[in-house]
Chain A
Amino acid sequence: MSAVPALSSEDLASWPISATTPPGSIPRADALTDALLGGTALADAQAVSREVRARLERRLASTVTLAPLTHPRVARIAHHQLTRVLGALLTAGPTALPVPEARETFRWSSRTARRPVGLAAVRLGLDGRAATPADAVAQVMADPCGPLGVGRAGPGSCADWLASLALPARSIVAAEATAWATRLWTSLDWGRLDPRQLSVGGPDRWWRWSGTGPTARIALRGRADVRIRMGASVGGGPSHGAHLVVLDGHPGAAARHGLMLSALVDALSSLRSPESSTVPSRVVGWWPDSGKAWVISVDAETLAVAADAVVVTARALLGAADAPGRADAADAPGRPGDNH
C-alpha cells in the first residue's frame, strides 16, 4: 500500500479504481453469482486493514484541522454523499467541489421504503415462507412491525410509517417493493450460496472517528444488500466475503468509489470485531435499471483510494477548503482519537 500516494481531490480522477464486468451470457443470474463467488481472500487482511485505518485517521486529522470548529460537527458519509461529492469532482474538476448542503430532509416514500420491504421479502423467500416476491411483500406489509417485518418500530421508522398508510398508499408501496424484490430475487442463483454464510439486508455497518478537541466527527456507513462469507470452513483458509450492492439508474463517475465504501467500512470494522466482520474480497455493484454490473477486487490499493475518497468527501461536507498538498504533506501520524 505504501506505493499508493496520498491523494488529493485532483488526483482521484487520475487514480481510478478498476472494475471488470461479468460476461453478458444468459441466464444473467449465473454470471452475477459467478462474479460474487469468484474472489480470493486478501493476503494478510488484518495488516492491510490496519494500514488503511492509519492512513484514514491521519488524513482525517489533517483535514479537520483545516477547518477548526467552534463546536463539534458530524459528517455522515454514506454512498449517496460520497458519490455526489466525488461525482462533481470527477466530472467537473476540483473547482466544482460542492458547497456544504443544508441537511436534506429525509422522507419515507414508496421509493425509499421499497428497499427495506423488498429485502425483508427476499428473506421470506429464502426461508421458504413465500413462493413469489408479491406474496412475500404482502406478508411483510401485513405486519411491518412484526418479526417478519422491516425492523424495529418507533417514531420515524419505516415500520411505523407503513403501518400508518391508507390502503391505496400501501398498495403502491407494495407494488414498488415487489418490483424491487423481484429484481434481487431473480438476480442470483441462490441455490449456489451457502445459507449459513449468507446475509440479506443485514444492518448497516458504521465506523466512527473523532479527533480531539472541538473538531468534526466522521461517521461512515457501509451498506450492502447481500453479504456472503466464504473460506472459513474450506480447508481452514482465511475467511473472506463478497458484497452485492443494488443501485438505481446506471453507473456514474464515482460509482467505483461508492461501491468500495461498504468494503472499507467492513475492513475497518473487522479490526474491532473480526468474528462478525470480514474484509470482502469483492464488491459487485449491480444496476438493474440498466443491467450493468461491475466487479471490484478489494485489495490494499483500492482500499487506500476509497479511504482517500472519504477524506475528500469529508472536506466537502465540512466546508473545509480543499487544500491539496497540505493534507498530503502531513505525513506525521495523526492522533487516533476515538475511532470506534
Chain B
Amino acid sequence: MTVALAPLRLPEPANEPDRGSWGPDLLARLVSPALPRPTIDHGLAGGLRAWLDDGIAGVGRAGTPERPVVGRAGTPERPVVVRDGTLVRSATLARPSALGLRELRACLTRMVFRLTLVQGALRHPLEFEDALCAISVTEHGPELLDAVGRLHPRERASLGAFTRARASVISAQWRPVPAAWLPRTGERLRAPLGGGAVVVHATADLVLGRPSEGAASVCLVRLHDEHRGPLGTARAQHARRALALAETLRSGAPPWRVATYDPGARHLDCDEVTEELLADAVRDVLEALERG
C-alpha cells in the first residue's frame, strides 16, 4: 500500500489549558506552566546510564562472612527487575489464583482512570459493570474476570461499591484529555541496564506531550492508590522517581513532570524533573540491588 503523504506536523501540547472550561481539575494543574520547561542536557541520560552500569558491575561482589555476597544482579537471560525502586521477583502478572481483592481493586481503579481520560465519566450506576466490560478485552482480561467471578458475593458487592466510589472521585477530578496533547494511557517503560542484567520497569497510567525536540516536553502520571501514611508517601515518591528515570533512559530526554495520583486521598503529587530527582532515582535502583 502506498499512501499520499501529507507531512505530519503535530501541534505542541498547549502550555496552558483554558481555565474557564477546565476549572480547578487535576489535568489543568498537571500542565500548568509554573516554571519554564527546561532545556535538555544531551549528556544527562548517558551519564545516568554509565552511573547505573558502574553500580551494577559492583553488585554481587564479595561481602562479609555474615553476608558473603552483597546484592543481587541477574544475567541477560534472567535479568533482575527493579520496579518503583524495589526488587521484584517477576515482571509478569500474578497468577489468577493469587489475585485477591486488593489487586482487583487496583486493576479496576486503573481501568476507571483510563476510561475517564479517554471517554469521560462512566455511566452511573454502572461504573463497575463498564470497567469489567473494558477489562474483558485486555491482555489478561479472562484471568481477571475469572478472579472476580470466584469472589464471595459479599466481596463482589464490596468491590462494586469501591469501584463506584473511585469512579465518582476520578470523574470529578479528571476529564478527557485533548487529542492535541497526545495522551497515551497504560504505557510500559523498560530500561535494560548492565548489559541486560537488570531491567528498570515502570508503568505510566497517563503520558502527555510529544517526544522532546530540545526542551522537556512529557508529563507522566502513575496511579498510586495502595498505601497511606509515611510508607505510602515514600512509595509514591519512589514511583515518581522511577518514572522519571525510565523515561529519561529510554528517550534520552528527562520528562518535564512526573506525578502520582491517589484517588483515595483525592491528591495529585507532582514533581518537576531535576537532576537531583534523577540522581535519587539512580540511588533507589542501586540500593534495591544492594539489598538484594
Contacts and interface: CB of A to CB of B under 8 A. Distances in A.
Nearest to A31: B252
A291 B46 CA distance: 13
A27 B213 contact: yes
A252 B211 CA distance: 25
Contacts of B1: 123, 199-203
Given A175-B118, A179-B184, A28 B251 contact: yes
Given A126-B8, A172-B138, A291 B252 contact: yes
A290 B77 contact: no
B223 to A, nearest CB: 14
Contacts of A168: 115, 119, 122, 130-131, 133-134
Contacts of A200: 1, 3
Given A199-B1, A290-B250, A132 B10 contact: yes
Contacts of A133: 179, 182
A173 B137 CA distance: 8
Interface string B119-137: 1001000000011011111
A199 B4 CA distance: 10
Given A91-B77, A185-B10, A26 B253 contact: yes
B137 to A, nearest CB: 5
Given A26-B213, A123-B1, A127-B3, A166 B249 contact: no
B76 interface: yes
A28 B115 CA distance: 30
Q: How big is the A interface, by class?
A: 35 or more
Interface string B100-122: 00000000000100110111001
B8 A191 contact: yes
Contacts of A250: 190, 192, 196, 199
A290 B131 contact: no
A195 B119 CA distance: 33
Given A126-B3, A191-B8, A186 B210 contact: yes
A182 interface: yes
A195 B138 CA distance: 34
A198 B134 contact: no
Given A166-B133, A175-B186, A179-B187, A195 B213 contact: no
Interface string A271-310: 0000000000000000111111000000000000000000
Interface residues of B, number: 59
A132 B5 CA distance: 15
Given A172-B115, A175-B186, A92 B77 contact: yes
B5 to A, nearest CB: 3
Given A191-B7, A197-B2, A29 B137 contact: no
B199 to A, nearest CB: 7
Nearest to B7: A191
Given A109-B138, A110-B138, A289 B214 contact: no
A71 to B, nearest CB: 33
A78 interface: no
Nearest to A123: B3
A190 B8 contact: yes
B61 interface: no
Interface in B151-187: 179-180, 182-187
A199 B5 CA distance: 10
Interface in B194-241: 196, 199, 207, 210-214
A91 B76 CA distance: 8
Given A168-B119, A289-B250, 4 more contacts: A123-B1, A126-B5, A194-B5, A292-B192
